[in-house]
Amino acid sequence: MLLPPTASATPSSSLRRYPYLTDLVLGHVTVNWATTTSISTGSVSYGKSGVESCTAHTVNATKTTITVGSTTEYQWKASLNSLSRNTAYCYRIQGGGTDLLGTDASPIFRTQLAAGSTATFSFAVLGDWGYQDSTSLNTDQANVLARIASSGARFAVTTGDIAYQTGSQTAYGDLVQTGANVSTVFGPSYWTVPGDTVPFFNVLGNHGLSATTLTNWPEDHAASSSAGRYAMQTYCCTNGTKSASYPSAWYAFQTGKARFYVLDAAWGNANVGTANIYKNDYDNHWTPSSAEYQWLQQDLAAHPGGLKFAFFHFPLHSPNSTEVSDTYLTGVDHLEGLLAQNGVDVIFNGHAHTYARSTPAGMPVSYVTGGGGAKLEPATVCGAPIAAALGWSYSSSTHGSSCGSLGRPTSIDHVFHYLLVTVTGGTKVTVAPTDEQGRTFDVQTYTFG
């Protein structure tokens, strides 16, 4: 059954992307939306939910010109600063003197926990989504995103690859344009549903490596507050690759006693030179002399103790024979070892369109979550360290596949999924993989020192 959007949309006809949130760090959040070019000014009004009016405070927004299909639009963003921690806020967006939400209810979000807080919170993790290969609605993806909207997650983190195939503004789309590979993210049944209340943290993938991802998912405060990087950069010319401008995106943020590391482990498929995408990613991001490696090493050392989570695209341990394990990142002398030696507790990856949980000896537990909405892939590479996995083949007679402790799925709606991660008391972590129908599977609870 397809889950409906959370609102019966009656916004202004000038609104082209429903408001969505990013960059939820410290006492800050960014509100984003898009309009027609008939709207020349924008602002956000907000207030503490249940305490103040939702229009108690107002900040101005800035705009960037984008093109969706053949239509010129304005992408807007506004920074809400000096917010109280762990507090619910409601907000509304205005443009040209008009309330762009019309009769829709004011969205409500909750700000980040203060550093050191032991209050319980949840977050969602999803990867490899933003897909619609025909004019028909991708109901599996819509269901996953609707589940996130109702999950109680304070925020969401991706594991990369959004807006197939190219990550263009047309693929991201808007509320009105339709078609194959059009409006795969900001269509009315997709990120529109959770995005106004669940802030999003962006991870780069090998699809859509362009400035568009930085425009659509601004995370500037997270990057600046952690001395990270969130900008376009010229890469030249490792392993015979061509000089190219790619986004570089790595940063960290704190929620209670947990530190979150959003890392750049990706490379574009069209620029491989004499190597492959895994080798090019390693040589540009993960040698001990690379800027990202050194930044991560320093931030890990500066934040000993406490929970630590890491998110990046290429998988350490994949159950798929096409999107295989990235051996340039695994092992004690590579990224996996650096994370293990510095107390990272759980790692989340994407790229393989499957689910997998791995328990490598002496290393953090790691998850592959690539079932957010793109076409699924089989899970047929089993054995240690993969403890559990699910996959799907569209061509085989059995379709479903699995590894380890999980049985073979008999329907595709068991494989599209996201992860709901709940942190209790600053030490207990429960990872609840949840399929598009809301069923949980392979639920694991860990206690970290």
Question: Is there a domain that residue 8 lies in?
Answer: no
Between the alpha carbon of residue 410 and those of residues 1, 61, 395, 396, the distances in Å are 17, 48, 14, 13
* Mean pLDDT for the chain overall: 96
pLDDT range class, residue 449, cuts 50, 70, 90:
confident
Q: What DSSP element (H or E) covers 293? A: helix 291-302
Question: Is there a domain that residue 10 lies in?
Answer: no
Question: Is there a domain that residue 1 lies in?
Answer: no
Instruction: Verify that 340 and 413 share a domain, yes or no.
Output: yes
CA–CA separation, 40 and 35 (whole Å): 9
Instruction: Verify that 157 and 294 share a domain, yes or no.
Output: yes
Q: What are phi and psi of 113, to 5 degrees?
A: -70, 150
Total domain count for the chain?
Answer: 2
- CATH code for position 157: 3.60.21.10
pLDDT higher than 80, residue 8: no
Question: Is there a domain that residue 21 lies in?
Answer: yes
Residue pLDDT, tens place only, 427-445: 999 999 999 999 999 999 9
Question: Is there a domain that residue 339 lies in?
Answer: yes
Instruction: Give the pLDDT of residue 9.
Output: 54
Instruction: Verify that 209 and 271 share a domain, yes or no.
Output: yes
Instruction: Verify that 106 and 128 share a domain, yes or no.
Output: no
Between the alpha carbon of residue 273 and those of residues 78, 276, 277, the distances in Å are 40, 7, 9
Quote the domain boundaries for residue 205: 121-447
Between the alpha carbon of residue 203 and those of residues 146, 148, 176, 183, 447, the distances in Å are 21, 18, 26, 20, 26
Output the pTM of the full model: 0.96
Q: Which residue in 353, 344, 342 sits closest to 315, CA to CA?
A: 353
Q: Would you say 198 and 21 are in contact if contact means Cβ atoms under 8 Å apart?
A: yes
**Last residue of some domain: 110, 130, 154?**
110
Instruction: Verify that 222 and 368 share a domain, yes or no.
Output: yes
Instruction: Give the pLDDT of residue 5.
Output: 45
**Last residue of some domain: 67, 90, 110?**
110
Instruction: Verify that 126 and 54 share a domain, yes or no.
Output: no
Instruction: Verify that 98 and 142 share a domain, yes or no.
Output: no
- CATH code for position 95: 2.60.40.380
Instruction: Give the pLDDT of residue 12.
Output: 87
Enter the tokens of residue 438. Answer: 């809301």
Residue pLDDT, tens place only, 123-172: 999 999 999 999 899 999 999 999 999 999 999 999 999 999 999 999 99
Enter the tokens of residue 328. Answer: 């340039």
**Last residue of some domain: 56, 80, 110?**
110
Instruction: Give the pLDDT of residue 4.
Output: 42
Instruction: Verify that 434 and 319 share a domain, yes or no.
Output: yes
Instruction: Verify that 55 and 136 share a domain, yes or no.
Output: no
Residue pLDDT, tens place only, 63-121: 999 999 999 999 999 999 999 999 999 999 999 999 999 999 999 999 999 999 999 99
